[in-house]
Chain A
């Protein structure tokens, strides 16, 4: 057996609920396309199909233990950084610097797999922050220097540093012991809690916005985002977080509610901030890796904000 069913019991149970919910969404998708045949539901169906694949990969990784989960997130960081470098302007002279930027990924996830918290938390903001400009100065080209160095730093923070917090969640020790790499403990439950709530928050904000959204909240960045969608989504997420907190986290109900509201708001900000980048560059999606969703950054944007915040709240209060 790859996993300890006892410690993963709640994770597996919540996962079953998730799969049931997704099955329901799939059935509704079918019903909709059968009912009004003239409307095109291709995108909705693509989206739901992609959810099956994403949830499947995520669930398998969780069950196979922390090492596999860490490797999965290292891979996601790599694809996200590649997507980022492919969509933003980079300089030919910085090719070597970009190569070093990619190399931070195996290192950062190595610190995580060995549970070296001190290094994990300063590696990108201190060492990579100092090394990148050093390597760029060696190249000697000052044209667009500030833009290039800022671009690389922002990319590393966004796709490596913040996302790696998700992987560190799974390494959080159970009851003060060292977390083994082969058996999941409480960290897996926290990771499921955060990822599930952040993604459901995106969906909830979208659905509430579609149902009753009227007042644009960030018209210059994301014209489709509305105040009603935001409020509806945040409350939905808060309530779900309150219920799930008891099952998956050390929190009691009102703490779960507060954290859920925070996830709702932070997720929204993460989403909008990536939208601002895309609007600046003049593209709609960051890529097309995930049919119906866009690129990997389009799916992970909210998590880049919720992951570090949630991680530090958990660590400060409970671990």
Chain B
């Protein structure tokens, strides 16, 4: 019962609050024709500059598959207190993973693979954390390991520009800027870890290059 109430709340939250904010207050500008999964399992990988990244990516997907969408997020950050944990788990619908660090007993890649096997659409930020506004940091290998584990799952790279200006890390003031979104053909894991990593990196460099607007001074 509680599950359905939470699902309904989640749907309302995105339909009535997040989508209007993303589409009207921020405003999306597609740099090319959107290429997005219509059903799970699928893996969305994107650059990460702002908490808004997740909101925009979820808003890109049709509401009817919202119940399958799970942004992958760090458990230690989002499950800090009770309210935030409820909100993150039920309303945003995150898949909480333990950051590996020194403790080798946790298996974040395995957790993600399990969700994909259940037909979920995962939102994954290969850079890890948000980093400096509007700058891309090096991609981590977690995404490659996940892709290797689920070689049949299509991977959709998405590049977003502008959200690091609208709501950067460490700032609570929301200042609207248009968000430019670039899409890329879906890819699947092939050959070796290194070559796949290089391919993903190249995709992001290409997408980043197609946005000619100013970053920060």
Is B133 an interface residue, CB under 8 A from the partner?
yes
Of B1-9, B48-56, B175-183, which stretch is located at the interface? B175-183
Q: Is the CB of A96 within 8 A of B217?
A: no
Q: How far is the CA of A102 from the CA of B216 in the complex (A)?
A: 18
* Number of residue pairs A-B, CB distance < 8 angstroms: 52
Is B194 an interface residue, CB under 8 A from the partner?
no
Q: Select from chain B the residue with minimum beta-carbon distance to A282.
A: B212
Of A11-19, A86-94, A252-260, which stretch is located at the interface? A86-94
List, in ascending order, chain A residues with CB within 8 A of B168's CB: 92, 95
CB distance from B31 to the nearest CB of A (A): 9
List, in ascending order, chain B residues with CB within 8 A of A79's CB: 27
Pick the most buried of B27, B165, B171, B217: most chain A CB atoms within 10 A of its CB: B217
Interface majority SS (helix, strand, loop, mixed), chain B: loop
Q: Is the CB of B216 within 8 A of A91?
A: yes
* Per-position 1/0 for B11-37, Cβ under 8 A of A: 000000000000000010110000000
**CB neighbors of B among A84-111 (8 A):** 85-92, 95-96, 98-99, 102
List, in ascending order, chain A residues with CB within 8 A of B133's CB: 92
CB distance from B21 to the nearest CB of A (A): 13
Q: Is the CB of A82 within 8 A of B27?
A: yes
* Per-position 1/0 for B191-217, Cβ under 8 A of A: 000000000000000000000111011
- Sample 30 A-B pairs with CB under 8 A, ordered by A number: A79-B27, A82-B27, A82-B176, A83-B178, A86-B177, A86-B178, A89-B214, A90-B216, A91-B216, A91-B217, A92-B168, A92-B216, A92-B217, A95-B168, A95-B173, A95-B175, A96-B173, A96-B175, A98-B175, A99-B175, A102-B175, A102-B176, A148-B217, A281-B214, A283-B212, A287-B29, A287-B178, A288-B30, A289-B27, A289-B29
Interface size on B, residues (CB 8 A): 18
Using CB atoms and an 8 Å cutoff, list the residues of chain B in contact with chain A.
27, 29-30, 133, 162, 165, 168, 171, 173, 175-178, 212-214, 216-217
Q: Is the CB of A89 within 8 A of B217?
A: yes
Is A144 an interface residue, CB under 8 A from the partner?
yes
List, in ascending order, chain A residues with CB within 8 A of B173's CB: 95-96, 99
New A-B pairs, 9, CB < 8 Å, besides A99-B173, A288-B30: A82-B177, A82-B178, A83-B178, A86-B178, A90-B165, A92-B168, A96-B173, A102-B175, A289-B29
CB distance from A207 to the nearest CB of B (A): 29
* Per-position 1/0 for A60-95, Cβ under 8 A of B: 000000000000000000010011011111111001
Interface majority SS (helix, strand, loop, mixed), chain A: helix
Q: Which 6 A-B pairs have the closest CB atoms?
A: A86-B178, A89-B214, A91-B217, A92-B216, A86-B177, A99-B175
CB distance from B177 to the nearest CB of A (A): 5
Pick the most buried of A88, A92, A281, A289: most chain B CB atoms within 10 A of its CB: A92
CB distance from B9 to the nearest CB of A (A): 29
CB < 8 Å neighbour of B29 from A96, A98, A102, A288: A288
Q: Is the CB of B178 within 8 A of A144?
A: no
Q: How far is the CA of A98 from the CA of B217 in the complex (A)?
A: 14
Using CB atoms and an 8 Å cutoff, list the residues of chain A in contact with chain B.
79, 82-83, 85-92, 95-96, 98-99, 102, 143-144, 148, 281-283, 287-289
Q: Is the CB of B216 within 8 A of A85?
A: no
CB distance from A82 to the nearest CB of B (A): 5
List, in ascending order, chain B residues with CB within 8 A of A289's CB: 27, 29
**With A82-B178, A98-B175 known to touch, is A90 a contact of B213 (CB < 8 Å)?**
no
List, in ascending order, chain A residues with CB within 8 A of B162's CB: 86
Q: How far is the CA of A91 from the CA of B133 in the complex (A)?
A: 11
CB distance from B174 to the nearest CB of A (A): 8
Q: Is the CB of A85 within 8 A of B177?
A: yes
List, in ascending order, chain B residues with CB within 8 A of A86's CB: 162, 177-178, 213
Q: Is the CB of A87 within 8 A of B175?
A: no
CB distance from A74 to the nearest CB of B (A): 13
CB distance from B214 to the nearest CB of A (A): 4
Q: How far is the CA of A86 from the CA of B163 in the complex (A)?
A: 11
List, in ascending order, chain A residues with CB within 8 A of B177's CB: 82, 85-86
Q: How far is the CA of A287 from the CA of B171 in the complex (A)?
A: 27
CB distance from A124 to the nearest CB of B (A): 19
Q: Is the CB of B29 within 8 A of A144?
A: no
Q: How far is the CA of A288 from the CA of B171 in the complex (A)?
A: 29
